[in-house]
Structures are given as structure tokens and as C-alpha cells.
Chain A
Amino acid sequence: MKRSYEEINEKLANGDAVVMTAEEVIGLVDSVGVEKAAAEVDVVTTGTFGAMCSSGAFLNFGHSDPPIKMGNIWLNDVPAYTGIAAVDCYIGASEMMEGDGEEYGGAHVIEDLIEGKAVKMRAESVGSDCYPRKEIETFVSLDTLNEAYMFNPRNAYQNYAVGVNSSPRTLFTYMGKLLPRYKNATYSSAGQLSPLLNDPQCRTVGLGTRIFLGGNEGYVSWQGTQFNTTHPTRNGVPVGNSRTLAVIGDLKGMSTDYIRALSVHNYGISIAVGIGVPIPILDEDMMRACAIKDEEIYAPVIDYSVQSRRRKTLAEVSYADLRSGTIELFDRKVKTSSLSSYPKAKAIAAELKNWLDEGRFEISRPVAPLPSESKPKPLNISTREELE
């Protein structure tokens, strides 16, 4: 069985396409097999909603009179980056508010903008002949901005680690609150619903792939940073944090149902981003990949009390076990917590399915593939002579 992108889009336009979520096709493949399921289903939708620190938004404010070339800028007292043109800035999700850092940051500014709230903008400059103004303070909202688009360098991790803590004290990490002496374990993947676990080699996900981003349409714009193809696989999917996506999409039209600011205690600010990727069933291999279930996806258990990049994997556990509420570690039962939201992941896959069913969303053939081989390098302390 072979199916083209064009055939699928024609069926979508005619309302004849069969679209199912990555959860729904598990049961279908179990009951009728891969061949029949592949013949029946045209597109499988996926979803994930979890903390994705490497996120932010480009904003253009328009020119004031007299104009200013913004040198430093604060949005609700959160610094943004203006080392680009006069009235463009990038607000990073993880940037913390000056003063009271942990409660409010760039992610909250983004959430407030999407929510339609007014945001206080303050900027300063040295002044120049083209841009004489040295200070400005005003309120802006999503409506007053020219362009406001999310551009996230690293989202939608293909699998991730499970966090535990062997030390005698509670740790507050980006993997959440880790109780002493392996008293709990945290994980953060939608598992069987997660976009890149349903297309593990990124056959159909590449540059230009149209996706669900924060409740709006978005696009894959590049491979995500730290894109890693080198982890060993089990059942065809990597064990550990592997491929990632850089994504882009209009903030105007996003919803706070699918973008949510997070304050991670004693760590900092992050943002929960909702992403859904449609997977076209081009052949039986794609259907086989989309039928992967939590029982078959494994994650490495990592001790976050080891403050070095050389952490060993203590064990490998399946998402079925993680989601059951307890895992076995060193012959003991350890309670688990998910940090990403499975109900939201389900809602995203269902919403994307609606868009496809209603003919509001076309699938797209990638303009270029993501790297087939890539391994992130560590940062070593080097001299100029060693590098040149």
C-alpha cells in the first residue's frame, strides 16, 4: 500500500479522509492488523503538552514619534533582547522578571499577551540622528503589536529521561520536586501520543511541516537544537532525549488553553507548549510506527543528584509502568509523577483531528528533511589556539 501527500489532501478537501489519533490507532491495529489499518486510515494525529524552556516570541512594536532604537527593553519588568532592529525584540520564555524572579517571567508575558492583557513596555536607548528618542514607557497588547510570532528553538523532545534523586535532601529540578532516596520518579513525555515517537525517523516531519502550535497553526522551521539521532532504540524508538523540533507560529490566534506559563520552584521560569503533528500514513511502515504503545516505549532513569553531565542510566522503564503510578526500582516501588499533561496531549490530538476532519488543515510534504545523523557536542573549556 502506498499513499501520496496529494491523495491525502484531496481526500481531506472532499471530507473523505479517515483521521484517527495515535491513541485510537493502537486499538485498530491490535484488532485488524497493520495492513488493513494502513489501508483504512489516512492521517494519524499526535499531541504533547509539557515544559519546553527553549521557547520565546519575536515582537515588533511599530515606531513611536519621535522614534527610538530600543537598546534595553522590559515587558512587565522582564528583560527582552533587542540586539536586532530598532523596534524588534525577542522575549525568551525562561527570562525572569527583575527583582521577583521566580514568580513571573517571559512565559508569563507571552501568556498575558495571548490572553489579551495589556503589558507594560519600557525601553531605553542612547539616541541617534535617526532615532533621537532615549526613553519610552507605554502599554502594548497583542492587538497593538505588528508581528508577534512564537519561535521556539527546541521543542517536542522525542522521549526524555525519568528523574530520581538518591541524595538525602529534596531536590528542585527542571524534572520537578524529587524526594530524597528514590521516594519518587518524574517523567515528561506523552509517550504513545508524542509526535516524534510516532514518526521515529522523521520520515514525514521536516522543514515546513504544518503543525498544531499553541492552539494555532504553526510550522516546523528547523531541527531543534541538541538534535540527537544516536541513542539506542527499543521497538524502533530511541530510549532517551533524542530528536527535537524548532517551531514557529503566530501568537495571534494562539490560546492559553495550549500555552501556559510555569514557575518551576528553585529552578526558574518555563512554558508549557502544546504541539500536535499530523502523521500521513504513506505506507504500512508509517502505520506500524504510529501504532506504538506505552508498553513499548522506554525511558532511562537518571539520578539528578549527580551534578555532572556524566550521569549513568540506573534502569529503563516503560511509559505503561510510569503511567500506572509506580515503577520498580532496586526492588522497591517508587511513586511516579508525570510533568507533561496527558489529558492536554489527548485534547491536542483530538483538536488537530477536528481541524483535518473539517477540511481546515492541509498536511504538507517537508520542504527538506531533518538531519539523518546528528550528535550534540558537549561544551569544553578551550583556548583560541586549540580551536584555530
Chain B
Amino acid sequence: MTVRKKYLLAFTPENANLPVIAVLVQKFGIIPNIMQAKVNERGGRLVLDIEGDSESLENAKAHILEQGVEMKELDRHVFRDEWRCIHCGACVSICPAEAFHVDMETYEVRFNPEKCIACEACINACSPKAMKLELW
């Protein structure tokens, strides 16, 4: 069965040089779409939108974890505290992934976590502090 999921990979400085993408493609036949890649002195992080056979995906995950790279499904990396959200719309124009849109009937702001690429741009744009990071 083919599945499509988003993952956040966290590297330490020691394993930041591992060719993870190539291994995913060549060894496991998985198609990764790189949504975010950052490397600095503390290591790095990679956000991938992955499409592939579910069994290969499980094997790939096991392989990556063996190398000491953390891998977490990004189902709730950024989430919205529904009570704190006042539906202003400050997040709408600053999201590069267009994960927010205004419902033109009610003018309420809708958040689509599936579109979220975990760039965190909304976190400091949200003054009621409704957009939050899931810590891990």
C-alpha cells in the first residue's frame, strides 16, 4: 500500500553528513520531497514529504534510526490552540506553504496541518499565542 507522510529528521553534528535522501531513493525506492533543510553547528534538520510503499517506509525508518538520526512523523509539529485563536488572520499572509486560509463566509481562519511544512514562520507572527510547537 502506498502512503504519503511528512517526517522531521533531526541530525547531530556527528551524523549530519549521512546521505539520507540517496539511501531512501536507492535502497528503499521511496520518493522524498525536501520541504526544509537546515544545517548548523548543532547538527541539522530535514523536513520530508515522503511517498512510498508502507513496508519499505517502515524499513527505511528503522535504517535511519539505526544511524542515530531522529525521525518523527510530522502530524502535529505545529498546532493551533483553538481557544487562544481569535481568528484575526495574522498568520495568513506569512505562511509560505499557504496552510492558512480565510473562510470567506465566516471570515474564520482555517488551518490545514497537511499543508504545514513546519517552518515555524507562524509562531512569532501569532500574537494571541495560539500557534504552538509540539516539543520533542
Q: Which A residues fall within an 8 A CB radius of B?
A: 49-51, 172, 176-177, 179, 184-186, 260-266, 270, 272, 323, 325, 335-344, 346
Contacts and interface: CB of A to CB of B under 8 A. Distances in A.
B113 interface: no
B108 interface: yes
Question: Top 4 closest A-B pairs, CB basis?
Answer: A184-B93, A335-B93, A265-B124, A337-B93
Contacts of A177: 90, 94, 121, 124-125
12 contacts: A50-B88, A177-B94, A260-B86, A265-B127, A270-B127, A335-B93, A336-B92, A336-B93, A337-B92, A338-B90, A343-B87, A344-B86
A102 to B, nearest CB: 10
A184 B91 CA distance: 11
B30 to A, nearest CB: 34
Contacts of A51: 127
Contacts of B102: 325
A341 B87 contact: yes
B5 interface: no
B40 interface: no
A344 B93 contact: no
Determine the main DSSP class of A at the interface with B.
strand
A262 B93 contact: no
Nearest to A179: B94
Interface residues of B, number: 20
Contacts of B107: 323, 342-343, 346
B108 A176 contact: no
B124 to A, nearest CB: 4
Count chain B CB atoms within 10 A of each CB in A177, A265, A270 and give the residue with the most. A177
B129 interface: yes
Contacts of B93: 179, 184-186, 335-337
Nearest to B84: A260
Nearest to A185: B93
A172 B124 contact: yes
Contacts of A184: 93-94
Interface of B: 84, 86-94, 102, 106-108, 121, 124-125, 127-129
Nearest to A335: B93
Given A341-B88, A343-B108, 18 more contacts: A50-B88, A176-B127, A177-B90, A177-B94, A179-B93, A184-B93, A260-B86, A262-B128, A270-B127, A272-B86, A338-B90, A338-B92, A339-B88, A341-B86, A342-B87, A342-B89, A342-B107, A343-B106
A51 B127 CA distance: 9
A295 to B, nearest CB: 15
A97 to B, nearest CB: 14
B124 A339 contact: no
A100 to B, nearest CB: 14
A337 B91 contact: yes
Nearest to B129: A263
B94 A337 contact: yes
Contacts of A342: 87, 89, 107
Contact of B89 (A172, A260, A264, A338): A338
A337 B100 CA distance: 11
Contacts of B108: 343
A273 B108 CA distance: 18
B90 to A, nearest CB: 5
A89 B110 CA distance: 40
Given A184-B93, A337-B92, A343-B106, A265 B86 contact: no
Nearest to B122: A177
A323 B108 CA distance: 12
A34 B23 CA distance: 71
B86 A176 contact: no
B129 A337 contact: no
Contacts of B121: 177
Nearest to B123: A265
A78 B9 CA distance: 40
A179 B122 CA distance: 12
Given A262-B128, A343-B108, A335 B92 contact: yes
Contacts of A339: 88-90, 127
Contacts of B94: 177, 179, 184, 337
B120 to A, nearest CB: 12
B40 to A, nearest CB: 19
